Amino acid sequence: MEEEELQKAVYAYLRKKGFRQTELVLQEEQNRLSSSAQSDLAVSRLDNDPARYHDGYSKLRSWAYSSLDLYKHELLRVLYPVFIHCFMDLVAEEHMQEARTFFHTFREDHELMHLRDLQKLEGILSPSHLEEMELARSLRQNKVKIKLCEYSYDLLLQYLQKTQSVTMLGIINEHINFEVSAGQPSSISDDVDVVALVGSSQDIAKQINQKEVRWGLLEDSVEERLERPVSDSEKPEGENKEVDPEDSKQKRSVEGGKQGVSVKKLKKDKLVGATGKNIRSETSTVSIAPRVKPELTLPVMTTEVEQSILEDLRNRVQLSSLALPSISFYTFINAHNSLNCSSISHDGSLVAGGFSDSSLKVWDMSKIGRPTKTSNSQGENESVESEHLLGLEEGKRSYTLFQGHAGPVYSATFSPFGDFLLSSSSDSTIRLWSTKLNSNLVCYKGHNYPVWDVQFSPVGHYFASCSHDRTARIWSMERIQPLRIMAGHLSDVDCVQWHANCNYIATGSSDKTVRLWDVQSGECVRIFIGHRSMVLSLAMSPDGRYMASGDEDGTIMMWDLSSGRCVSPLMGHNSCVWTLAFSCEGTLLASGSADCTVKLWDVTASMKVPRMEENKASSTNRLRLLKALPTKSTPVYTLRFSRRNLLFAAGGLSKQA
């Protein structure tokens, strides 16, 4: 009212002063303003009606369901993103009640594919939650990419225009990127793309996955050296001579300082090649895998260790789908449900268990339980055995107790030669223990939250850890600060694994992706999308080409590192896959699960599956499962192939099962 009076006063003033022109302009302006305000109001009233989401979506849904069979599955794919964005829009506009009813009305449609996401989204009850929850945030920020064939796309557009469903059109424009392809609609089984709707933008993933990954093995690996003694086994006296100069060279190179090692090695390699040791170059051509240079300075092996490794490699049992491994199972008894993790040393002589009462216990299996163990492990653990009696002095305990952590121990790992043990705990520290001195050597503080997993690199010295703080870190034993911090996962990093050539680490996360990181640069070089739940275990094939990952639902996926693609999903477990291990030649994959089985999978067969059949995974999977070995109500926590291809497994006996 006051404003009107003011206006009148202004008009009166203008008239009195004779500003006729100005008065007209003002009037015109005033009219326009008020009318536009009115129309704005009308639009916004229409816009704010929460029922429009419900109506629009249910119409779109019934249209999609009644569309042509050939294009139906493509159109149905559009529904899920529209559904969740409708829901989140409703929440954002604070129509809680409507959001709830909307969610529950259409929830069933998507439960099959997206149950876990739905469970999370269900909890969103206020706009602030949208901000807080990482899944919702990433969904809001990123566009979903959906592949459609030309015709489906036309159909969809026609529908949206014809029905004037502005709301739906808005959502689709805002949150969906269509990738329209000419020709026939894609087959139903390509739904992987839809599953991958977990937040991380597909484009970024694609971009990252274009980077080069050199998955080849290290040059000058021990395995390579093995092939020489085998090839000239007729003259064993020559064997030592050949190994010895190698080692002396290596020692020299160490003296030359850390920085120069790789360079010197390179030179040395050239030297070796130049001096005409033909055998060497021959053997390296035998294996097809390309060789790469280490990016990290690698620790040096002592002669005895190398000798023992060579000995093991020579005695290795060749495994294949016809020659399955022997499995030695270590059962933790009377653990009272407090066993959180276990680890087995490479030769199976030491077994460590991490418990929820913060303790870490190490059993020397060569002493207890089995005095007449297999001959190979006896040979292997002689070095470890020495002076290990210290721990046994205190009482009649059969194990060595390591105390130091202040929270449940979530992971433990033996160094490649069994003389060190690392453990990570919920007190956000990692501790290094010596199995020879039976004492704590170092406490690494760096993570801010519980450290879920820690893994020694295949050559020792370096290790990687991952934590609830959504990072993975690379450490070396001699420094208490991490060397690299890998950040990028959208949720907890649950497991970590080294690549065979030590240049990469892989991490599995609760955001359902697996990422591959370059150790030297700390960059993410691959994102593997496809799991439908939290990734719990990882394993790298010894040839460095493939990676296996197991998730909470029991699905195991085999990935090709170079392409970033899933080679094949392996279904069979019906509960969490706690552990995965490749046999030494990479022909078999062993998986251990909470469903109390150890399963053996044929890797070579799964690789040979032609591209055509890959989609029809259901039948080929069964072929690839070689053997399922049930345990007696013992979930399998750890699997490890010894260098001689004996498979060790460990798990805690649980009574409830």
Binder of another protein out of 631, 642, 643, 644 (CB under 8 A)? 631
Choices 226-234, 285-293, 333-341, 522-530; region in contact with another protein by CB under 8 A: 333-341
Choices 42-50, 123-131, 176-184, 518-526; region in contact with another protein by CB under 8 A: 123-131
* Max Cα-Cα span within the chain: 122
Q: Other CB atoms closer than 10 Å to residue 236's CB: what's the count?
A: 9
Token pair for 84: 């969740």
Q: Is 601 in the site for another protein (CB under 8 A)?
A: no
- Sign of the CA dihedral running 406, 408, 411, 412: positive
- Sign of the CA dihedral running 599, 605, 610, 613: negative
Token pair for 67: 């569309």
Of 283 and 356, nearer to another protein (C-beta) is: 356
Of 368 and 485, nearer to another protein (C-beta) is: 368
Question: Minimum Å distance from CB 198 to another protein?
Answer: 15
Binder of another protein out of 598, 602, 641, 642 (CB under 8 A)? 598
Within residues 406-445, the interface with another protein by CB under 8 A covers 408, 410, 426
CA dihedral (303, 309, 311, 312) in degrees, to 10, reads 170
Within residues 308-327, the interface with another protein by CB under 8 A covers 323-327
Within residues 500-559, the interface with another protein by CB under 8 A covers 510, 534, 536, 552
Binder of another protein out of 600, 601, 624, 641 (CB under 8 A)? 600
Q: Other CB atoms closer than 10 Å to residue 247's CB: what's the count?
A: 15
Choices 120-128, 196-204, 240-248, 271-279; region in contact with another protein by CB under 8 A: 120-128
Within residues 185-214, the interface with another protein by CB under 8 A covers none
Binder of another protein out of 48, 97, 184, 574 (CB under 8 A)? 97
Q: Is 649 in the site for another protein (CB under 8 A)?
A: yes
CB 411 within 8 A of CB 426: no
Q: Is 335 in the site for another protein (CB under 8 A)?
A: yes
Q: Is 569 in the site for another protein (CB under 8 A)?
A: no
Q: Is 331 in the site for another protein (CB under 8 A)?
A: yes
Q: Which residue has the tokens 């801010």?
A: 448
Of 562, 547, 583, 544, whose CA–CA distance to 291 is shortest?
A: 544
Instruction: Give the separation between CA 391 and CA 438, rounded to whole angstroms.
Output: 7
Binder of another protein out of 14, 96, 272, 571 (CB under 8 A)? 96
> Number of residues in contact with another protein, rule: CB under 8 A?
79
Instruction: Give the separation between CA 188 and CA 176, rounded to whole angstroms.
Output: 19
Q: Is 361 in the site for another protein (CB under 8 A)?
A: yes
The helix or strand, by DSSP H or E, that contains position 649, with its residue range, turns out to be: strand 647-652
Q: Is 334 in the site for another protein (CB under 8 A)?
A: yes
What residues form DSSP beta bridges with 30?
none
CB 358 within 8 A of CB 408: yes
Question: Minimum Å distance from CB 487 to another protein?
Answer: 19
Question: Minimum Å distance from CB 9 to another protein?
Answer: 43
Q: Is 468 in the site for another protein (CB under 8 A)?
A: yes
Question: Could you give the 3-state DSSP secondary structure of residue 177?
Answer: strand
The helix or strand, by DSSP H or E, that contains position 130, with its residue range, turns out to be: helix 127-132
Within residues 206-265, the interface with another protein by CB under 8 A covers none
Question: Minimum Å distance from CB 616 to another protein?
Answer: 6
Q: Is 397 in the site for another protein (CB under 8 A)?
A: yes
Question: Minimum Å distance from CB 335 to another protein?
Answer: 5
Of 158, 160, 142, 49, whose CA–CA distance to 95 is shortest?
A: 49
Specify the pairing of strand 144-149 against strand 176-181. parallel
- Sign of the CA dihedral running 204, 147, 73, 568: negative
Binder of another protein out of 444, 578, 582, 601 (CB under 8 A)? 578
Binder of another protein out of 118, 217, 298, 339 (CB under 8 A)? 339
Question: Minimum Å distance from CB 491 to another protein?
Answer: 9
CB 472 within 8 A of CB 465: yes
Q: Which residue has the tokens 């022909």?
A: 587
Question: Minimum Å distance from CB 268 to another protein?
Answer: 41
